[in-house]
Chains A and B, each alone.
Chain A
Protein backbone atom coordinates (compact mmCIF):
# COMPACT_ATOMS: atom_id res chain seq x y z
CA UNK A 1 0.00 0.00 0.00
CA UNK A 2 1.55 3.29 -1.04
CA UNK A 3 1.29 6.58 0.86
CA UNK A 4 -1.78 7.87 -1.01
CA UNK A 5 -3.90 4.79 -0.47
CA UNK A 6 -2.85 4.73 3.19
CA UNK A 7 -4.07 8.33 3.59
CA UNK A 8 -7.42 7.46 1.98
CA UNK A 9 -7.83 4.37 4.15
CA UNK A 10 -7.24 6.42 7.32
CA UNK A 11 -9.60 9.18 6.09
CA UNK A 12 -12.34 6.63 5.28
CA UNK A 13 -12.02 4.99 8.71
CA UNK A 14 -12.13 8.43 10.38
CA UNK A 15 -15.31 9.36 8.45
CA UNK A 16 -17.05 6.09 9.32
CA UNK A 17 -16.02 6.40 12.96
CA UNK A 18 -17.20 10.01 13.14
CA UNK A 19 -20.58 9.26 11.62
CA UNK A 20 -21.22 5.96 13.39
CA UNK A 21 -20.54 7.60 16.77
CA UNK A 22 -23.64 9.71 16.11
CA UNK A 23 -25.91 6.75 15.56
CA UNK A 24 -28.47 6.14 18.23
CA UNK A 25 -30.43 3.03 19.10
CA UNK A 26 -34.08 2.88 17.93
CA UNK A 27 -35.20 2.94 21.56
CA UNK A 28 -33.57 6.31 22.25
CA UNK A 29 -36.13 9.04 22.81
CA UNK A 30 -38.86 6.67 23.98
CA UNK A 31 -39.46 7.45 27.60
CA UNK A 32 -38.98 4.43 29.78
CA UNK A 33 -41.60 4.97 32.43
CA UNK A 34 -44.72 7.01 33.22
CA UNK A 35 -42.76 8.61 36.08
CA UNK A 36 -40.20 10.09 33.69
CA UNK A 37 -43.01 11.33 31.43
CA UNK A 38 -44.58 13.08 34.37
CA UNK A 39 -41.25 14.57 35.38
CA UNK A 40 -40.62 15.86 31.86
CA UNK A 41 -44.11 17.33 31.63
CA UNK A 42 -43.46 19.14 34.90
CA UNK A 43 -40.16 20.54 33.56
CA UNK A 44 -41.94 21.68 30.39
CA UNK A 45 -44.82 23.48 32.15
CA UNK A 46 -45.40 26.66 34.13
CA UNK A 47 -48.60 28.18 35.48
CA UNK A 48 -49.13 31.96 35.39
CA UNK A 49 -51.55 33.86 37.59
CA UNK A 50 -53.70 35.39 34.88
CA UNK A 51 -56.84 34.51 32.95
CA UNK A 52 -55.81 36.55 29.89
CA UNK A 53 -54.84 33.87 27.39
CA UNK A 54 -54.21 36.34 24.58
CA UNK A 55 -51.82 38.36 26.72
CA UNK A 56 -49.82 35.20 27.53
CA UNK A 57 -49.77 34.17 23.85
CA UNK A 58 -48.51 37.62 22.87
CA UNK A 59 -45.86 37.29 25.57
CA UNK A 60 -44.82 33.92 24.12
CA UNK A 61 -44.52 35.45 20.64
CA UNK A 62 -42.52 38.43 21.98
CA UNK A 63 -40.18 36.04 23.81
CA UNK A 64 -39.66 33.94 20.70
CA UNK A 65 -38.88 37.11 18.72
CA UNK A 66 -36.43 38.24 21.43
CA UNK A 67 -34.70 34.86 21.13
CA UNK A 68 -34.55 35.22 17.32
CA UNK A 69 -36.97 32.43 16.45
CA UNK A 70 -39.15 32.43 13.35
CA UNK A 71 -42.81 31.54 13.78
CA UNK A 72 -43.74 28.48 11.71
CA UNK A 73 -47.38 28.14 12.83
CA UNK A 74 -49.75 29.97 15.14
CA UNK A 75 -53.35 29.42 16.19
CA UNK A 76 -54.74 31.87 18.72
CA UNK A 77 -57.97 29.89 19.12
CA UNK A 78 -56.07 26.76 20.09
CA UNK A 79 -53.44 28.76 21.98
CA UNK A 80 -50.52 27.27 20.06
CA UNK A 81 -47.33 28.60 18.52
CA UNK A 82 -44.60 26.62 16.74
CA UNK A 83 -41.27 28.31 16.14
CA UNK A 84 -37.85 27.42 14.73
CA UNK A 85 -34.33 28.76 15.10
CA UNK A 86 -31.81 27.61 12.54
CA UNK A 87 -28.22 28.69 13.11
CA UNK A 88 -25.31 27.92 10.81
CA UNK A 89 -22.37 30.20 11.59
CA UNK A 90 -20.23 31.06 8.59
CA UNK A 91 -17.11 28.96 8.22
CA UNK A 92 -18.33 25.88 10.07
CA UNK A 93 -20.42 22.92 8.96
CA UNK A 94 -21.80 22.52 12.50
CA UNK A 95 -25.23 24.03 12.84
CA UNK A 96 -28.11 23.97 15.27
CA UNK A 97 -31.80 23.58 14.61
CA UNK A 98 -34.12 24.20 17.54
CA UNK A 99 -37.89 23.68 17.17
CA UNK A 100 -40.30 24.79 19.88
CA UNK A 101 -44.00 24.17 20.31
CA UNK A 102 -45.71 26.28 22.94
CA UNK A 103 -49.28 25.84 24.08
CA UNK A 104 -51.29 28.10 26.36
CA UNK A 105 -54.48 26.86 28.00
CA UNK A 106 -56.53 27.69 31.08
CA UNK A 107 -55.63 25.91 34.32
CA UNK A 108 -58.47 26.13 36.77
CA UNK A 109 -60.22 29.47 36.97
CA UNK A 110 -57.30 31.72 37.82
CA UNK A 111 -54.29 30.51 35.88
CA UNK A 112 -52.93 29.92 32.41
CA UNK A 113 -50.74 26.87 31.82
CA UNK A 114 -47.87 27.27 29.36
CA UNK A 115 -46.29 24.07 28.06
CA UNK A 116 -43.18 24.01 25.92
CA UNK A 117 -41.83 21.12 23.86
CA UNK A 118 -38.34 21.49 22.43
CA UNK A 119 -36.51 19.51 19.76
CA UNK A 120 -32.84 20.16 19.07
CA UNK A 121 -31.33 18.80 15.86
CA UNK A 122 -34.34 16.48 15.50
CA UNK A 123 -34.06 15.07 19.02
CA UNK A 124 -36.41 15.74 21.91
CA UNK A 125 -34.83 17.97 24.54
CA UNK A 126 -34.89 16.66 28.09
CA UNK A 127 -32.37 19.13 29.54
CA UNK A 128 -34.26 21.17 32.19
CA UNK A 129 -31.99 24.20 31.59
CA UNK A 130 -33.48 24.76 28.13
CA UNK A 131 -36.98 25.00 29.58
CA UNK A 132 -35.86 27.07 32.57
CA UNK A 133 -34.14 29.59 30.28
CA UNK A 134 -37.22 29.95 28.12
CA UNK A 135 -39.57 30.42 31.09
CA UNK A 136 -37.17 32.96 32.58
CA UNK A 137 -37.33 34.97 29.36
CA UNK A 138 -41.12 34.55 29.18
CA UNK A 139 -41.44 35.77 32.76
CA UNK A 140 -39.55 38.96 31.85
CA UNK A 141 -41.86 39.48 28.89
CA UNK A 142 -45.03 38.94 30.95
CA UNK A 143 -43.71 40.78 34.03
CA UNK A 144 -44.67 37.77 36.15
CA UNK A 145 -43.06 34.54 37.24
CA UNK A 146 -44.46 31.13 36.43
CA UNK A 147 -45.21 28.52 39.05
CA UNK A 148 -43.92 24.98 38.74
CA UNK A 149 -46.68 22.43 38.39
CA UNK A 150 -46.87 18.73 39.24
Chain B
Protein backbone atom coordinates (compact mmCIF):
# COMPACT_ATOMS: atom_id res chain seq x y z
CA UNK B 1 0.00 0.00 0.00
CA UNK B 2 1.34 3.42 -0.98
CA UNK B 3 0.36 6.54 0.85
CA UNK B 4 0.35 9.97 -0.81
CA UNK B 5 1.26 13.08 1.18
CA UNK B 6 -2.40 14.15 1.35
CA UNK B 7 -3.73 10.78 2.43
CA UNK B 8 -1.00 10.40 5.07
CA UNK B 9 -1.77 13.82 6.53
CA UNK B 10 -5.49 13.03 6.63
CA UNK B 11 -4.89 9.70 8.34
CA UNK B 12 -2.59 11.26 10.94
CA UNK B 13 -5.12 14.05 11.65
CA UNK B 14 -7.92 11.47 11.95
CA UNK B 15 -5.87 9.39 14.41
CA UNK B 16 -5.03 12.50 16.46
CA UNK B 17 -8.71 13.50 16.57
CA UNK B 18 -9.68 9.96 17.63
CA UNK B 19 -7.20 10.00 20.49
CA UNK B 20 -8.12 13.54 21.54
CA UNK B 21 -11.80 12.58 21.64
CA UNK B 22 -11.34 9.27 23.40
CA UNK B 23 -8.65 9.83 25.98
CA UNK B 24 -10.33 12.44 28.23
CA UNK B 25 -12.97 9.85 29.11
CA UNK B 26 -10.34 7.43 30.36
CA UNK B 27 -8.04 9.74 32.26
CA UNK B 28 -6.97 8.28 35.54
CA UNK B 29 -7.61 10.05 38.82
CA UNK B 30 -10.60 10.71 40.98
CA UNK B 31 -10.71 14.49 40.99
CA UNK B 32 -8.86 15.03 44.27
CA UNK B 33 -6.57 17.65 42.70
CA UNK B 34 -9.68 19.58 41.62
CA UNK B 35 -10.88 19.97 45.21
CA UNK B 36 -7.59 21.41 46.47
CA UNK B 37 -7.53 25.22 46.80
CA UNK B 38 -4.89 27.04 44.78
CA UNK B 39 -1.91 28.35 46.79
CA UNK B 40 -2.81 31.79 45.42
CA UNK B 41 -6.36 31.60 46.84
CA UNK B 42 -6.00 34.65 49.11
CA UNK B 43 -4.70 36.83 46.27
CA UNK B 44 -7.41 35.50 43.93
CA UNK B 45 -10.11 36.22 46.49
CA UNK B 46 -8.83 39.75 47.02
CA UNK B 47 -8.90 40.43 43.28
CA UNK B 48 -12.39 38.94 42.90
CA UNK B 49 -14.05 40.67 45.88
CA UNK B 50 -15.25 44.21 46.62
CA UNK B 51 -17.05 45.63 49.63
CA UNK B 52 -19.97 48.02 49.25
CA UNK B 53 -21.66 49.99 52.01
CA UNK B 54 -25.09 51.56 52.28
CA UNK B 55 -26.82 49.10 49.97
CA UNK B 56 -28.92 46.04 50.74
CA UNK B 57 -27.74 42.61 49.62
CA UNK B 58 -30.73 42.20 47.32
CA UNK B 59 -30.04 45.52 45.57
CA UNK B 60 -26.36 44.67 45.29
CA UNK B 61 -27.17 41.34 43.63
CA UNK B 62 -29.69 43.06 41.33
CA UNK B 63 -27.06 45.65 40.32
CA UNK B 64 -24.57 42.84 39.62
CA UNK B 65 -27.11 41.05 37.42
CA UNK B 66 -27.74 44.33 35.60
CA UNK B 67 -24.00 44.64 34.85
CA UNK B 68 -23.92 41.06 33.54
CA UNK B 69 -26.85 41.90 31.25
CA UNK B 70 -25.00 45.00 30.03
CA UNK B 71 -22.04 42.74 29.22
CA UNK B 72 -24.26 40.42 27.17
CA UNK B 73 -24.52 37.52 29.59
CA UNK B 74 -27.64 35.37 29.80
CA UNK B 75 -28.56 34.72 33.41
CA UNK B 76 -28.79 30.99 34.08
CA UNK B 77 -29.10 30.64 37.86
CA UNK B 78 -30.10 33.16 40.49
CA UNK B 79 -31.05 32.84 44.12
CA UNK B 80 -31.36 35.98 46.25
CA UNK B 81 -31.82 33.95 49.42
CA UNK B 82 -28.21 32.73 49.33
CA UNK B 83 -26.87 35.56 47.15
CA UNK B 84 -25.85 33.93 43.87
CA UNK B 85 -26.24 34.62 40.17
CA UNK B 86 -24.58 32.93 37.21
CA UNK B 87 -24.39 34.01 33.59
CA UNK B 88 -23.21 32.51 30.32
CA UNK B 89 -22.07 34.06 27.08
CA UNK B 90 -21.14 32.31 23.82
CA UNK B 91 -19.01 34.34 21.50
CA UNK B 92 -16.56 33.99 18.67
CA UNK B 93 -12.96 34.10 19.87
CA UNK B 94 -10.94 36.66 18.01
CA UNK B 95 -7.37 36.36 19.28
CA UNK B 96 -5.01 37.18 16.36
CA UNK B 97 -2.51 34.40 17.10
CA UNK B 98 -5.34 31.87 17.04
CA UNK B 99 -6.58 33.17 13.70
CA UNK B 100 -3.06 32.57 12.30
CA UNK B 101 -3.15 28.99 13.59
CA UNK B 102 -6.52 28.43 11.93
CA UNK B 103 -5.22 29.70 8.60
CA UNK B 104 -2.22 27.33 8.81
CA UNK B 105 -4.53 24.42 9.63
CA UNK B 106 -6.82 25.26 6.70
CA UNK B 107 -3.83 25.30 4.33
CA UNK B 108 -2.67 21.91 5.68
CA UNK B 109 -6.11 20.35 5.39
CA UNK B 110 -6.59 21.73 1.90
CA UNK B 111 -3.21 20.30 0.85
CA UNK B 112 -4.03 16.96 2.48
CA UNK B 113 -7.49 16.47 0.98
CA UNK B 114 -7.15 18.44 -2.22
CA UNK B 115 -10.13 20.65 -1.37
CA UNK B 116 -10.82 23.22 1.34
CA UNK B 117 -12.45 21.93 4.54
CA UNK B 118 -16.03 22.98 5.31
CA UNK B 119 -15.99 26.39 7.03
CA UNK B 120 -18.19 24.97 9.80
CA UNK B 121 -15.17 22.99 11.03
CA UNK B 122 -13.14 26.17 11.40
CA UNK B 123 -15.35 27.92 13.93
CA UNK B 124 -13.52 29.64 16.76
CA UNK B 125 -15.85 29.84 19.71
CA UNK B 126 -15.63 30.47 23.39
CA UNK B 127 -18.11 30.15 26.22
CA UNK B 128 -17.58 32.47 29.17
CA UNK B 129 -19.31 31.66 32.44
CA UNK B 130 -19.54 34.02 35.37
CA UNK B 131 -20.48 33.43 38.98
CA UNK B 132 -21.44 36.34 41.25
CA UNK B 133 -22.00 35.87 44.96
CA UNK B 134 -22.99 38.38 47.61
CA UNK B 135 -22.85 38.13 51.38
CA UNK B 136 -23.19 40.35 54.41
CA UNK B 137 -19.97 41.53 56.03
CA UNK B 138 -19.90 40.22 59.58
CA UNK B 139 -20.09 42.90 62.22
CA UNK B 140 -21.64 45.48 59.90
CA UNK B 141 -25.34 46.16 59.40
CA UNK B 142 -25.23 47.69 55.91
CA UNK B 143 -21.97 46.45 54.34
CA UNK B 144 -21.91 43.62 51.82
CA UNK B 145 -19.30 41.90 49.71
CA UNK B 146 -19.55 40.92 46.06
CA UNK B 147 -17.31 38.21 44.64
CA UNK B 148 -17.11 37.46 40.94
CA UNK B 149 -15.33 34.63 39.11
CA UNK B 150 -15.01 34.10 35.36
CA UNK B 151 -14.33 30.83 33.52
CA UNK B 152 -13.77 30.25 29.84
CA UNK B 153 -14.14 27.25 27.54
CA UNK B 154 -12.30 27.94 24.30
CA UNK B 155 -13.02 25.72 21.30
CA UNK B 156 -10.82 26.14 18.27
CA UNK B 157 -9.42 23.81 15.65
CA UNK B 158 -5.99 23.73 17.28
CA UNK B 159 -6.75 24.86 20.80
CA UNK B 160 -9.24 23.52 23.30
CA UNK B 161 -8.82 25.08 26.69
CA UNK B 162 -10.95 25.47 29.80
CA UNK B 163 -10.25 27.12 33.11
CA UNK B 164 -10.51 30.25 35.22
CA UNK B 165 -9.77 33.67 33.79
CA UNK B 166 -7.27 35.53 35.95
CA UNK B 167 -6.57 38.78 34.12
CA UNK B 168 -6.93 41.50 36.82
CA UNK B 169 -8.27 43.95 34.20
CA UNK B 170 -11.34 41.75 33.78
CA UNK B 171 -12.19 41.95 37.47
CA UNK B 172 -11.33 45.64 37.80
CA UNK B 173 -13.53 46.36 34.78
CA UNK B 174 -16.46 44.44 36.26
CA UNK B 175 -16.25 46.29 39.59
CA UNK B 176 -15.93 49.64 37.85
CA UNK B 177 -19.16 48.95 35.98
CA UNK B 178 -20.81 47.70 39.19
CA UNK B 179 -19.81 50.85 41.09
CA UNK B 180 -21.34 52.98 38.32
CA UNK B 181 -24.53 50.89 38.32
CA UNK B 182 -24.87 51.28 42.09
CA UNK B 183 -24.22 55.04 41.88
CA UNK B 184 -26.80 55.44 39.12
CA UNK B 185 -29.31 53.34 41.07
CA UNK B 186 -28.72 55.38 44.24
CA UNK B 187 -29.18 58.67 42.38
CA UNK B 188 -31.85 57.37 39.99
CA UNK B 189 -30.02 58.75 36.93
Contact = CB atoms under 8 A, between A and B. Distances in A.
A88 interface: yes
B23 interface: yes
Interface of B: 1-3, 8, 11, 15, 18-20, 22-27, 29-38, 41, 45, 76-77, 79, 81-84, 86, 129, 131, 133, 135, 147, 149, 151, 153, 159-164
Interface stretch (A27-35, A36-44, A64-72, A105-113): A64-72
Nearest to B80: A76
Given A65-B133, A67-B37, A130-B35, A76 B82 contact: yes
Interface on chain A toward B: helix, strand, loop, or mixed SS? mixed
A11 interface: yes
B37 A127 contact: no
Nearest to A95: B24
B119 to A, nearest CB: 24
A66 B37 CA distance: 7
B25 A67 contact: no
A15 B24 contact: no
Interface on chain B toward A: helix, strand, loop, or mixed SS? mixed
B109 to A, nearest CB: 19
A2 to B, nearest CB: 7
Contacts, number: 150
A130 B1 CA distance: 51
A126 B161 CA distance: 27
B137 to A, nearest CB: 13
B30 A22 contact: no
Given A8-B11, A71-B86, A87-B162, A134 B27 contact: no
Contacts of B24: 88, 93-97, 121
Interface string A37-66: 000000000000000001001100110011
A21 B23 CA distance: 10
Contacts of A134: 35
Given A93-B24, A94-B24, A88 B29 contact: no
Given A74-B77, A74-B84, A96 B160 contact: no
A89 B159 CA distance: 10
Interface of A: 1-2, 4-5, 8, 11-12, 15, 18-19, 21-22, 54, 57-58, 61-62, 65-68, 70-77, 85-90, 93-98, 118, 120-122, 125-127, 129-130, 133-134, 137
B163 A74 contact: no
Given A93-B24, A129-B32, A8 B3 contact: yes
A21 B26 contact: yes
A85 to B, nearest CB: 5
A133 B30 CA distance: 12
Of the candidates B2, B32, B84, B163, the one having the most CB atoms from chain A within 10 angstroms of its own CB is B32
Contacts of A94: 23-24, 27
